[in-house]
Amino acid sequence: MRSRVKTALALAITIPFAAGCEKSPRDKLQGRWLGESIENVPVSQVQKATGWVKGTAIEFSGNKVTVTIPAETPRSGTFKVSRKDAETLLVSFNRDEGGHDEAEMAIVGDQQLRWRIGEGREIVMTKARN
């Protein structure tokens, strides 16, 4: 009987902590993501598109975000996760200089972000090591 009470008590203490360990989508986005590759582009454009992607970065810090795209000035602002489906996040960006953008993204594991840019294309990004 005592062993059952101890087991029940241990479970009562452990379960809330285990449930609280799940990171929110916003928390999973935190950090610097670097462009790695692009999928579903014509073979003739793979090299040029991959070069562009490798110069792309997104950094999430708290509710702030900075997006760096080659040959453009980095854009900063705030973000929030507007919608979360089973595998997809809709991330809303408000630029400091004005304007609003949305991006569909998927987080795969802890180290990969897939930015869906339309027409079946995805930019694959990896999390930078600190």
What Å distances lie between residue 77 and 45, 63, 65, 94, 125, CA to CA? 31, 8, 6, 5, 20
Neighbours of 65 (CB within 10 A): 20
* Greater pLDDT, 5 or 75: 75
pLDDT digits (tens, 9 = 90+) for 69-78: 999 999 999 9
pLDDT digits (tens, 9 = 90+) for 92-103: 999 998 999 999
Complete domains list, the chain, with CATH? 23-127 (2.40.128.280)
Confidence class of residue 13 from pLDDT cuts 50, 70 and 90?
Answer: very low
- 114 closest CA partner among 92, 95, 87: 87
Long-range contacts: 23-28, Cβ < 8 Å, 24+? 24/81, 25/81, 25/84, 25/89, 25/107, 26/60, 26/63, 26/80, 26/81, 28/107, 28/110
88 and 97 in contact (C-beta within 8 Å)?
no
Confidence class of residue 22 from pLDDT cuts 50, 70 and 90?
Answer: confident
Q: What's the confidence (pLDDT) of residue 20?
A: 52
Cα–Cα dist 53/125, whole Å: 9
Whether the per-residue pLDDT at 7 is higher than 70: the answer is: no
Average pLDDT over residues 120-124: 96
126 and 34 in contact (C-beta within 8 Å)?
yes
pTM (predicted TM-score): 0.80
